[in-house]
Structures are given as structure tokens and as C-alpha cells.
Structure 1
Amino acid sequence: MRPSADKINSLIKASELYYLHHLNQNQISDVMHVHRTEISRMLKEAKKLGIVKISVDTTFGSAKNMSKFFERAFDLKTALVVPDDQAGSYKESLDTLGLYADSFLHSLIKSNTTIGLSWGQSLAAVVDKFQQDVFPKNITVIPLIGGPRGSLPAPYHANSIVHRLASKITDAIPYSLDTPALIKSKELKDELLDNPNVEKVISMWPDLDVAIFGIGSRESSGNKSWQQFYKETSFASGLGKMAAGDILSQPFTAEGKILKLPEINIIGMSLDQLRKIDRRIGIAAGKQKAGGILGALRSGLVTDLITTYSTALEIKSISQM
């Protein structure tokens, strides 16, 4: 059973009172109005979940305040700013991101929900931490973009992420988009779009209820996954010259202006189509992503953001420069 956000908050509070403020379990019981025997179990669970390591992660309160700041500053429905160890590895940050994102994503999936997913390491990490559960009926999961031309690791493909998420939902149907994302010519793109399977997926995009996607950044172009996805395309040079970041392989400036790169042919949902979806959840972490995330927030393409506290600090800093 996945822990809810309220449950995680309670575990953090109990851990802080015990390890940082040195209250005994009887005192914590009085403060939290929880039976004493429950406190011991909560402390053990906090260790198991990684909230308590060598020390208690005390950034939660700051992260909660940061969430409120982002919601106000960028008119977001939800900003889920996740406490993280700023000295930890990128993988550790993504694992923590997935743990916190789980409860939030479950809350969005109702009966007859159609979910669209992009590609990338951050999104893959969140889906991998997603806990299987009994869900409402008739869930549809579809890719928002085609696959890479380079040798991007298979777990980061949109089709792969779609099928992994669908496998964790009791009544879900996954679809695949069996075409490259970036096409060499308009003629080849038109030919691929004539494929009935491709037509089927694209026809479902206007009916999406939730879109979940990663956010690329110019500063992360040294990332191997990023390089493999855009291998042998002109996208990398275009992004490097003009843009701060990209969503669904479509770039925008640091001010949030969408850029049109006419020489690039993409089989993927357009940003104009994306903007019409009610819930548009951007997931990204890492200080190198801060510029791209800020541009995405300013573009109005993101209704909900999931990121780490250290990333949020960097975004806030550069937004005030």
C-alpha cells in the first residue's frame, strides 16, 4: 500500500520530534495525539522509506513553502516540490521524486481517464515508483511522441513507459506509436502519418484528460539520453542557439515563447494541442534543468509541476535575476 502525502508528513514530523528535538515517545504521543505504541512503528517506517537516513531530511517544511511560492508565482494547480538531499546523486533525487509523485498521480486517475506520456529518465523513474492498485474502470494510456532515432535506453522510450504504467493499472489499455519522433523529410512524415496505427493514436490526443511529460533544458544537452534521442538531427543545434528548453521536442525561450523550427519534422503532439488539455504535468529535476523548467513555467504549458527542492531553489534564483 502506497503512503499518502499526509502519511509521509506525519512520518517526517515524528522523526523530527524524535531525532532533532529529542522528545521521547510519550512526549511525541502528546504532541501528535497518536498512541505511544504507534510512534515506534512510525519511526521504523520512516527509516524504511528513507526519510530517516543518517539524519532527518529537514527540508520538508521549506519544500512545502516553496510549493506554495511556485503555485502563486506561476499560477499552477499543484506544485509538488519534493525534499531531497542536495549532496545526493541524480538517481537518488529521481527515486525520491517517484515516491512523492505516486500519491498525487493516483489522485488524478479516475474512471474513463485517458493519460498521455512522453519520454525520458525523470518520467520513467516516476512510473517505476508508481504503486499497483485497484483502479476505476476504463483507463487508456497513450504516447504523446514517437521514438528516438538514436540508441536511447529502452526504458526511457515513450512506448515503454506507457506499457509499464498500464501494467500497474487493473483496467488499462496501452497504445504504441511505432514511428520515429523526428523525421528527415516532410514527405516521409506524411507517409508515416498515413499508417492506420499511427492515425489511431493521434486521433486520441484531443480526448486526453491528463498529459505527463518531461522537460528538456539546453544545459542538459550533454546528457547521454538527450544526445541519443536527438542523434543525427538538427534539433540539438537549433536548441543550443535559440531555446532554453523543450517539451515534446518542441523548444521555447527562457521567457516562455514557443519557437518554430521549420526544418524539423516531428511526429508528436503539438504544443498548441497540449495547451488544450486540462491537466498538464511537467516532471523534471536537476539544477541543469532549471532554465528549461523556468521557460516551461513561463510558457503556460504546465498546469502542475513535480520537481525537487534543490531544483526549485535554482529556478527561483534565476527567475529573480
Structure 2
Amino acid sequence: MRLLVKVARMYHERGLRQPEIAEHLNMSQPRVSRLLKEAVDRDVVRTVVVPPEGVHAELEDALIARYGLREAIVVEVEGSGFDVIPALAAATATVLDATLKRGDVIGISSWSATLLESVNVMRAKTPSVVQEVVQMLGGSGSPEVQLHATRLTSRLAELTGGRPVFAPSAALVGSRELRDLLSREPAMAEAMQAWSRLTLALVGIGTLEPSPLLRRSGNAITAEDQRRLKELGAVGDVCARYFDITGKPVDAPFNDRLIGIEPDQLRAVERRLGVAGGLNKVAAIRGALRGGWVNVLITDVEVAQELLTD
């Protein structure tokens, strides 16, 4: 035991390399290596990780364990009541930069202000890694807002080297018959076929109250639809597919008029990265996690803490 402590202190406290320790103590380097391992096994040496300020590894691990996630990223937001979008966008850009791999096919929801900001701050990938960037929800709307949806897809494709695949239709159309007709148009059919090839889905998580961007697009649900969804127990949506607090899909009155990826198709995507924050979205995020709508979450500290309460 005395020898264990001596070797451990020489290595960890004095910073000597293993060959130096072996020479000083007149023993072989493999024996030094074995002694260092034994020091750990016998609890003589303990490794302590001290996260720097702003890193919330324990919260992230707790979210992963509670909801069965692949990954969780919890970000610090400056002060209470501040806009969470810049912090979430920066984290999303960083995660994409670190995790995108060659051959990825990215699906992206069209009407997320946070994802738009993420693309604005993202760096170009060199060399190109992504095969395609595909809209998962109709991207047409009012002319002054449609530019955002188109720019989101085209800019992400430009940054990653992928081919943009647009969904040239409104998300909500007037009838089921019109939806079926538009779905057979060549450009729209191409996008729908690409949904089966997705390896990564990038989505926002919405509440019953449409975001300002979605409202201005002309694709937002009506007040009557909101009332009906509330009666059905809906708490939020991913790609305009609404679910209750348990994550179970609800039978929204406009489901047969929606042009977008189907729930089962979305949940079959290997990595489903949801980006959402702010205490007003806690119920929606909780439902999305419980229902497996996303399996990677980027959110803020306050929301993470609420998600871990019963």
C-alpha cells in the first residue's frame, strides 16, 4: 500500500511520467502502470470532474436517465425573463458542427425562429458532409415570411454541402382532396419520398399558441382549432403534429389537411433533435419527450429543472 501511494503521488502530484517513475524506483514501466491501475481500484486515487461555470452535466445526465434520451444539452441564459433563442441557437450550431457526419440526410421543420437563428450563427462545414437537407413540413406561406422558411433550408444546405429539397406547398391546405392532389405534384412528391431517408430531424417544439413566425406565415391553426385541441388535451406539437402531456398523438381536426411528415415516419428517424426553451414550453417539451417525438434535447436550465420535477 505504501508503494501504491508513493507511485500515485509521483504520477499525479509531481507530474512524473511512468518511465521516470520506473527509473527512479528501479522497477519496470509495466509494473508502474499496474500499480497506478491498482491505486484506482483500491480507491487510493479518485478522479473528480469539476465542470466549469455554465456547464450543467448533472442536469443533462438526469434528463437522459428520466426520459431515455440519446443526448441532452442544457444551456445557461443570461438572467430571468431573457430571450432564450440566442443561447439555444448557439448551442444548436455547436452540436451540429460537432456531430454531422458524411452521408447525413437532414430533415428540418419550416417555421422555427430558433432553428433559423441557429443556421445564422452556424459555421460552414469543410469538406461537405451532408447529402440532403429536406423540409419536413409545407414551406409555403405569406410572401414576406416564406422567405424565412426557404432561407432556413437553403442556408443549412449551403453550410453543410447538402442538396436542398423543398416542400413547395402550404403546411395547411383547404381540404383533404387538395392535400392529396398537391402531394402528387413532382416537387412535393420528391420531398415526401426523401422523408424515408432522413438520418437527422431538426425540429422546434411548439405550444398551442402559434409562434409569431408561424402566425405571420399563414400556416397557423385557427382559434377554433386551438379550442378543439385544448379539449382533446393537446399541449404541444412537433411539425404541426399535436400530442397530449403523455406524448400520445391527438386527433386534430386538420390532420387530413396537413402536408408534412407523418408521426410514425418522424419517430423512425434515428436522431430527432428538438430545440426549445422558456417556461411557457415546459408542458409541450415534456409531452414531446414522453412520446419519443425527440430523443436529443437542447433547452435552458430553468426548463431542465422543471422537467425533472414530478
Q: Calculate the TM-score normalised by the size of structure 1.
A: 0.73
Q: Secondary structure at the match of 2:101?
A: coil
Give 2:75's aligned residue.
82
Aligned residues: 258
Please tell me whether residue 200 in structure 1 is matched to residue 193 in structure 2: no
Give 1:163's aligned residue.
154
Aligned positions of 1:201-220 closer than 5 A: 201-218=191-208
Task: Determine if contact 2:66/2:308 at 8 Å carries over to the other structure.
Answer: no
Q: Secondary structure at the match of 1:184?
A: coil
Kindly provide the amino acid, as one letter, of the partner of residue 94 in structure 1.
I
**Separation of aligned partners in 2, 1:267 and 1:240:** 22
**Separation of aligned partners in 1, 2:82 and 2:143:** 24
Give 2:164's aligned residue.
174
Give 1:266's aligned residue.
258
Kindly provide the amino acid, as one letter, of the partner of residue 203 in structure 1.
Q
Please tell me whether residue 60 in structure 1 is matched to residue 54 in structure 2: yes
Task: Determine if contact 2:210/2:221 at 8 Å carries over to the other structure.
Answer: no
**Separation of aligned partners in 2, 1:135 and 1:315:** 38
What is the aligned-residue RMSD (CA, Å)?
A: 2.6
Q: Calculate the TM-score normalised by the size of structure 2.
A: 0.76
Give 1:299's aligned residue.
291
**Separation of aligned partners in 2, 1:289 and 1:184:** 29
Q: Secondary structure at the match of 2:264?
A: helix
Distance 1:154 1:276, change over 3 A: same
Most deviating of 137-146 and 225-234: 225-234
Out of 105, 114, 117, the residue aligned to residue 105 of structure 2 is 114
Once the two structures are superposed, residues 115-162 of structure 1 have per-residue CA deviations (whole angstroms, 9 ceiling, x without a partner) of 0000211211222121113034452101000035557734642x3211
Q: Secondary structure at the match of 1:168?
A: helix
Once the two structures are superposed, residues 14-67 of structure 1 have per-residue CA deviations (whole angstroms, 9 ceiling, x without a partner) of xxxxxxxxxxxxxxxxx9x9xxxxxxxxxxxxxxxxxxxxxxxx8624x22111
Once the two structures are superposed, residues 96-125 of structure 1 have per-residue CA deviations (whole angstroms, 9 ceiling, x without a partner) of 222222232123321111100002112112
Give 1:227's aligned residue.
215
Out of 104, 118, 131, the residue aligned to residue 126 of structure 1 is 118
Larger Rg: 1 or 2? 2
Task: Determine if contact 1:122/1:285 at 8 Å carries over to the other structure.
Answer: no
Kindly provide the amino acid, as one letter, of the partner of residue 153 in structure 2.
V
Out of 132, 157, 160, the residue aligned to residue 140 of structure 1 is 132
Please tell me whether residue 98 in structure 1 is matched to residue 89 in structure 2: yes
Give 2:30's aligned residue.
none
Aligned positions of 1:28-43 closer than 5 A: none
Give 2:43's aligned residue.
none
Q: Secondary structure at the match of 2:203?
A: strand
